[in-house]
Every structure is written in structure tokens, then in C-alpha cells.
Structure 1
């Protein structure tokens, strides 16, 4: 396959865009990125970079004719051939489609109606739109994109003919809030979940909580056991709180609602728009009157909670699995404190290996920028103070992992990891990842943050000083295969994503029963003692936090500006130069 110059044109450099960027670079192509800011900016990028091909994995506007008439432009559409419209995946989740797909088509004057270069299909899971997008859609998009790019690199300049049994074209309009609306008095849990899952992430489902209009998201079914004490509750009633989520009654059960965003008046300035928050924190006064219903770490599989612990294997070779499935991988101060308490609790269990599973969609993305932004609007608090509390709590979690020296610890990356979440993973003795995982092991993209989580200790011991410096400077997404090659990972699972957890558990059980495990533990403890004698962890933490203190409280507001723009989803004014390599 001849290497190509490919310009990635996208609304934002999201998880799908990052995966395609990293994969295509790994296949030898030369990549540059331009964020879709304005037609004139796109035209300029094409003139500067002179791409062989423009690839658009995530757009909210049409590519201008001045571009697609000059250079072949391939658009990645999250729907099967024949599907057209801006809410493709939303409709699929809302309707409960058993199968779905991704199409790579050539841009022309029609919306999602150009010639089809490639497509890939997948089975749907009962999951949120965001979870499906990050997993099945992204994997199918890569398969279809690779096929299309290979055809183009091989000299083809027109899309292959569709088979005679190709599906008919179906235009699906924007899925509007009137159609997503939940009728609590009549709808089942299944129906409510379908609507909430279809709008998860963006735009959410417009509803009301305590008479206040808001958008809901991050929904989970309540178990029969959780609903047993509320058998007389009216559908729509607010019943309880668990880990920041609100339990709301349906006609045949209930749902936990984890996230909410207040509806803004039409004339709200973009910089003052509301943003997603933990539901019980957004409605703190009202939620204070509801009973708390926490759950133990070890419990029935149908009982929802952010933290979960299971044990496996025979006595004397037990493996513990601690999952922490936080929304979008964001670890607020409260979540960090709960996770640290869970770590201390499971360290009392008689296990030989402890797997840190993170979440299904993300292992972790570090501190919770939305919760920090909320503090800026709370009397007597500030974003700087909330940031400081959050990074201290993140460090406490990492320290708890580092100080677990009586067993082997393994971070298992089922989903992507970024910023402090990537370095939290490195606190374990080993790091295993699925081949679909994308890592962003750096902090600078968030207002030039210095970072903590003991990275100045953890990274050089894997990559050396020069390697650590190079990684922290490059600011680009890293595939699991690349991370394995440079020593950031210890194992990269290239098998199917389905079954990755089971394969990881099998590896861990073999490790727990290994004949030389006691020797590995002794060597681990000796290394930790030597490292501590050479330079204590407290000193690494102190020096990292001195730099972070300047980020939070110093004269340079870059972090606070970047966080505000990120949380409020401000449109980009320009493409960062580490992505737009075509710009001087």
C-alpha cells in the first residue's frame, strides 16, 4: 500500500478521530489534522498540506464544494449503507436495532449520500450511545476506513459498485426532544432506558427534576431488590441516592440517573451555558431529602454501582478484580475517596493478584473537570481549590496502589486512558490493555498542566529519562501496540474485544498460581524499598504538586481557560499546532 498524505478533518479530535489518526500513522501514512472551524480554514488547510485524501471521521457540517471538488473526501458515517441523517446512532439505540454499521462514503453535494467506498457491520449491545460509539462503532469505522484507504492507495479513484441487494436509502431526520420525551406515568423501564441511552453524552433527554427543566443522562436499570422498599411509589417519583445518582420510579421498576444538566434560557451566552454534573450534586438541596442507598463492593451482578469487586480462583491462588466505572472516566474528589477506601478494603482480602479494571469505556481520564468547574460557581469555593483537592485525592489513590506490596497488582485497560488516568494505571506492577485502547499519557493539552500522580517516578522507571521526556512532549494519542513497543505496557491483547476480561482473568489466575510468584513479590518489595531509600515517594509528590500549585493558583490562567472551554464545549478558534503540522 503506497503511503498517502491524509488530512483528517473533524469537528473535534474525539476518540474515533484519535484512533483513526494513530492507526493510519502506524500504517505508514503522513497525517495532519484540521478542526472544522470554517470553510475558508478548511480550504487553506488543503492548500497548505496538499493531501492525497481528506478523511472526515466526525463532522457536524458539510465539507464545502471548493474542497470535495478538488480532492477526494471520505466521510465516516455511523450507520449502514443507505442510512442518511444526523442522528444515525441515536435512532439505532432508541429503536433497539439488533445490528448496525459504519459506512465510509465520498463527499458530494448530498448529505450522507455519496458513493460508498467501504462499510462494516456489528452487533448492538444494550448500552448507551457513547459506549457503542467508543467500542463497536470505532472498531467498525477502522475496518471500513482501512479498506477504503487501501483501495485509494492502490490506485482506485471511484467507489466500487454496490451489490444488487444493497439496502434502500433511508433518510432519518434529527431525533428531536419531542420524540425522546419520557412519559413517566406510562413508560416501562426498558422504554425509559432506550430513550436515555440514545441521548447519552449529547444532547441528553430533556425532562424535569423537582420542577426544573434539565437534560438527563448516564442511566442504569435498578434491580428488583433496590425497588422492593419502594413498591408503593408513583411512577416518576424520586426515591433515593447512590454514589451521586438519583433513583427514579418507572411503571415497572426504576432507573438510576447519574448525570444531569440544567436547561438554559434561549438567550444564554455560550460562556455561561450549563454543563453536565453528577445529578445529586446538581440538585444537592433537593437530593439531601432522599435516603442514601449504598451497596457493598461484592454484590449481585444486576445491582448497579460505580465500584464492584469480585474474587476468583482456588484458595491460595485467588485473584481479586476491582472495577471503577466512572462516567467518562472522570475521577472527582469524592470518587477518588471512594476508590481509595475500596482499595484499602480489598487489600484485606487473601488474594495473590489484584486486577484494577477501571471502567468499560474508560480506564480513567484523571481529575473531574466538570466537578471542578461546578466549584467555580459555588459560594465559598473556587475552581483552584477544587482542583487542588482533586489532585490530592488522585495522588492518594495512586499511592494506595504503589503501597500494595504484599501482592501483584495489574491495571487492565478495557477502554481508553488519558492524563492522570494513564499514570494511575502505571502505579500497578503490570499494565495490560486491549489492542483497541488509545492512550493519551500527557497533560499539556489541558492548559499546559504539569501533572502529578507520581508520574515523575513511574514513567522514567519504564522509559528512562529521555523516553519519559519525549512522551510527555509529543502530546499525541498512542495505540496500545505502540505503547507495548516502547515499554509503557506489559501486554497488548489483540484478540476480539468480546472476551478480553475473561482472557485477562485467565492470565491473572495463571500468575497467581505461578511457581515463582513469591520470588516476584520479594523482588518487587526490594525494589520499592530501594527506590524509597533513594528518593521517597513523598518527595516526588511534593515537587509535582509545587508545579501543579502554580497551574492552579499562579498568574498564568491557561489551565482555567482550557478547562472552562472544555467543560462548556466552546468551539475551537484554531487547530493546535501539534496536530496541524501543515501550519507554520
Structure 2
């Protein structure tokens, strides 16, 4: 069938629907429902067999849903209606939720039901949940609904009752630091992640607090700032404390939206002198004691986990991860796993930090070199096997970081964007070496030119990925551990390590890694230093949620890789 996706943004769910429907043989196109554009007329020009709306912030006009069957993906169970269904679920502490595919009618979310799938709600941020359990349920429901529509015989069932809940206002999200305990504070922070954030007054300024993690050891007067860790702030609650990784300044009247930034960077000189509390050895992104980087071992396998907000890796993130990688390489392991978490693996350089810098060109240059240093360290590791374990999506330089490893394992629901073009960049991270090495020069050229998302199954068929792991988002870490420890114990692993070193030596003699880096960075530097290069307008538009005149197609701005939310 010819399926037209109508979406407010080419976000993670829309990309996954696009990729998986194509994998199943459907012809798929995308139209962005952007205010001020003639997108309803464009729908009629497509003349699709089916219109599918994976993520839509506006109502479909009557002349569209009366002319075509239009199915809307709603992130809530049957009968739960409104624009903030998932926000309510997380803030209210629901332990199960669901996704419903329903037919568009005049009343929002009130149409006939084509499919509904339930899912658990683990204690994670809304955006993580959206890309994980909600996305899995959505794709199951979408495939079921599309199959039912294609059959021509299925009769959708009407909704007999429902409740429409309005969007959560900031008054309903407000944290009362004097009275609210840690559990409630975490629910409020998680329900607002990563949009809109929880508005708060802090150190004389108005901010949106983004993200939250439990701190069990530190205590203080409720609302007091207690410590910092890797750019995050620890703030006391009524009965404990939480770590807040990011802040976004409230938009001034008539001004542009501010970028999301590491909390300490956002506060700058406002921040009083606080103790830096390094993470203890048992800390990690998905462990009881929180840190954005963690390391542990199981037998002869080492696991270097990391999780940065939105998958964005600034200069400091890259340098800290490189330091942790070198420490991990000093351990007596035969297999080292990178990643393994449930959310984003990496989306490459941190566009928000770059945009906020006094000299964005200079920060762009520092950031890409820090990414290159990290990728080079992975590529030149010849005394053990390195595995990239992607439980969540990756884009641009994040994909190339993954490809630097000997093996790439992906959860079956992962979406990859192995290209840079939509941000107006040539790219670096040694992609001119790793991508053709994986898929061949012709396919590498096609992937970077088409700039389309790939599902895990398609990436596996192309050779971009070595293994797909069909499991729930929360089970990926355990599955990775099982596979990695088994790999470390295989008798053939030692000979693979020896062969790896010989292959690296041959490749280095053919064309040194330094030559790839020099050629890539020469083009990147020209772009960074050219104030008229599209990259600057595209970056600014992406970070500040504006439209950029430099964008050549309606999908490109929203598909661009970077520190995206859900």
C-alpha cells in the first residue's frame, strides 16, 4: 500500500513507523503538519491509500479525514483522550498504560478503534518511556491496524466511553520543595521530561528543570543545592534529594527559546561554590546510585555504560567518556561492551552547548575533535573485542561511534540515522573509514545521501549491525550481559583478537586513520568557519525550535540528528 505519514515532526516514533512500514514492503511518504504551510493540500496531492498520523499536535481537517481513512496513534489506552495522556500517566504513577490507533473524526481521540496494545510503565522519564515501551506498543498496534485496513474486511469498534484530560499546566507540575518527598519530585520531573520541563525559580532566575534521578545519601534543607556531579545539580527534597542533569532558561518575552544545557553550565556564574561529588564505583546510568557513566565487570567481560540527556555528547562528555574508556581498557578483560542502556546510545555532538557558546564555531571544532578522539581510541583498541550495544536510537556521529567497535548489537526497536546531511555537515568520527568498511562504498554513499532512518532489521540486512536483540527495553542490559560473557568465554575469541590486530595493521598501511581524520576535519572546519554555511541556521533552528530558511525540504529540519526529545 501507499501510506502517507502526517506528523508534526519527524520524531523518533515517526521515524520508526517510517522504517518498519518500508521494511514490510509498503510505499511510505511523509508530510509535516507545520503551521503556516499548505500541508492539507499536499495530502490530497499524494492520494494515498491510507493516512497515518504517528505524532500529531494539530487536528486533521475534515476535508482530509472524510476523503481518506486517517488513523491516529494516541499514546494512551482506549478512552483516555487529550494531548497530555502520557504526561498524566507518568505523573500519576500508573504502572500500566497503552497505545491506541483510532480513526480521525471531528472530536479529538474519539474515533473508532482499529487497534490497541497495552504496555508496562517503568519508573523512567517520559521521553525514555516514549521511545521504549510506548514505541514498542505503538508499532505493534500500527502493524495490526495497517493489516486490518489492508484486509478490507475489518470493522473498527466504536468507543463507548472516554475522558478527555487537558494538557498539564505548570501549576500542576510545580514542585513544592518544602513539602514534596523524593518520589513525588521524581514523578513531576519525569512527567515533564524533556518537554516542557518543570518551571522553577532558582538562584534568582526562572528555569525549566529537565530530568531527575534519585540520590539516597545526601541530605539538606528542602530546596537547598547540595552538590554537583558531572554537570548535574543535587537538590534536597523534603525527605531526600534528587540529581537534576539539565536546565533550560525560560524564554524571555519575544525572545527565542533557550537551549537545554547541563545544569552547571546553564547556571554559570550564578552557581555558588558546591562540592563536586564524583560517582562511587557502583554508580551508573541505570543503577541505584546514579551517574551518567558507569563501569562494571562480569567474568572476562567489561561493561562501560553511558547515558547522556538526549544522546547529545558535548566536548566535556566526550573527554570524560574517553577517560573512562581508557581506564576500562586497563582492566584484564577480553570483551568490552560500550553502552547497553535502554535509551539513546548517542546522537553525536551537542548542538545545544554549541549554540550557547560564546563562539559556536570554536565549540563545534572542539566538540568534533573530542568525538574523534573517542572514536579513534575505540578503533585502535587491538587487545580485546569491543562491542557497541544499542538499546536505544543513534544518529550521525553516534552511529559512527558505534561502528568503531568490532560488533554492533541493537535492540530490535532501535532506529539508526547514519548520516549528517540534514544538519548541513559532511561529518567526521572516521565515518569515511568505518561506514564503507561495513556496507561498501556504494551503500555508504546512498545512506549518507538519502538521509533516511533505518530500523534495526534493515541495518542488520545491510551489515551495519551484527546482531538484533528482540527484547523489552528494560531487558536489554541483561541480554547484553549474557551475550557478552558468553562471547568472552568462547575459545575462538583469542584468535579473533589476534586477527583484529593484523587487520588494523593492514588497514593502517593502506590508508592511515590520520588521513581519514584530516580529510574529514578539513571539510568540517570550512563549514564551521563559514557564517553563511547552512549548518549554523539549521543548528539554531533545531535547538531553538524554529524553522530555518536553509532547510530545503519539509522533513529535513525535524529529522536532523541532535539532542532531540521524544
> TM-score normalised to the size of structure 2?
0.95
Distance in 2 between residues matched to 1:537 and 1:206, nearest whole Å = 47
Distance in 1 between residues matched to 2:163 and 2:26, nearest whole Å = 34
| Cα displacement (A) at 1:40 | 6.3
**Conserved? CA contact 2:341–2:477, under 8 Å:** no
Residues 214-272 of structure 1: per-residue CA shift (max 9 Å, x gap): 11011111122xx1xx4xx210011111010011001110001111111123x323xx2
Aligned equivalent of 2:222: 235
Distance in 1 between residues matched to 2:441 and 2:143, nearest whole Å = 35
2:165 is aligned, of 172, 190, 195, to 172
1:518 is aligned, of 460, 472, 494, to 494
| Cα displacement (A) at 1:286 | 2.8
Aligned equivalent of 2:248: 261
| Cα displacement (A) at 1:372 | 0.3
Distance in 2 between residues matched to 1:275 and 1:150, nearest whole Å = 41
1:198 is aligned, of 188, 191, 194, to 191
Distance in 2 between residues matched to 1:63 and 1:572, nearest whole Å = 24
Does structure 1 residue 436 correspond to structure 2 residue 413? Answer: yes
Aligned equivalent of 2:453: 477
| Cα displacement (A) at 1:359 | 4.1
Aligned equivalent of 1:218: 211
| Cα displacement (A) at 1:157 | 6.8
Does structure 1 residue 122 correspond to structure 2 residue 102? Answer: no
2:49 is aligned, of 49, 52, 61, to 52
Distance in 2 between residues matched to 1:56 and 1:577, nearest whole Å = 16
Q: CA separation of 1:457/1:575 partners in 2, compared to 1, >3 Å: closer, same or farther?
A: closer
**Conserved? CA contact 2:200–2:206, under 8 Å:** yes
Alignment of 1:450-461 (within 5 A): 450-461=426-437
Distance in 2 between residues matched to 1:575 and 1:83, nearest whole Å = 38
Distance in 1 between residues matched to 2:473 and 2:211, nearest whole Å = 22
Number of paired residues? 554
Distance in 1 between residues matched to 2:444 and 2:555, nearest whole Å = 18
Does structure 1 residue 350 correspond to structure 2 residue 350? Answer: no
Does structure 1 residue 252 correspond to structure 2 residue 239? Answer: yes
Does structure 1 residue 107 correspond to structure 2 residue 130? Answer: no
Structure 1: gaps spanning 5 or more residues: none
2:292 is aligned, of 287, 301, 306, to 306
Distance in 1 between residues matched to 2:89 and 2:149, nearest whole Å = 30
**Conserved? CA contact 2:283–2:290, under 8 Å:** no
Does structure 1 residue 24 correspond to structure 2 residue 48? Answer: no
Alignment of 1:131-150 (within 5 A): 131-150=128-147
| Cα displacement (A) at 1:578 | 7.3
Q: CA separation of 1:63/1:575 partners in 2, compared to 1, >3 Å: closer, same or farther?
A: farther
Residues 58-114 of structure 1: per-residue CA shift (max 9 Å, x gap): 111111111111111111111100011111000000000111011111111101111
> TM-score normalised to the size of structure 1?
0.92
**Conserved? CA contact 1:361–1:416, under 8 Å:** yes
Q: CA separation of 1:335/1:512 partners in 2, compared to 1, >3 Å: closer, same or farther?
A: same
Taking only aligned residues, the RMSD between alpha carbons, in angstroms, comes to 1.8
Q: CA separation of 1:253/1:101 partners in 2, compared to 1, >3 Å: closer, same or farther?
A: same
Does structure 1 residue 559 correspond to structure 2 residue 535? Answer: yes
Structure 2: gaps spanning 5 or more residues: 558-566
Distance in 2 between residues matched to 1:348 and 1:74, nearest whole Å = 53
| Cα displacement (A) at 1:211 | 2.4
Q: CA separation of 1:579/1:258 partners in 2, compared to 1, >3 Å: closer, same or farther?
A: closer
| Cα displacement (A) at 1:43 | 2.4
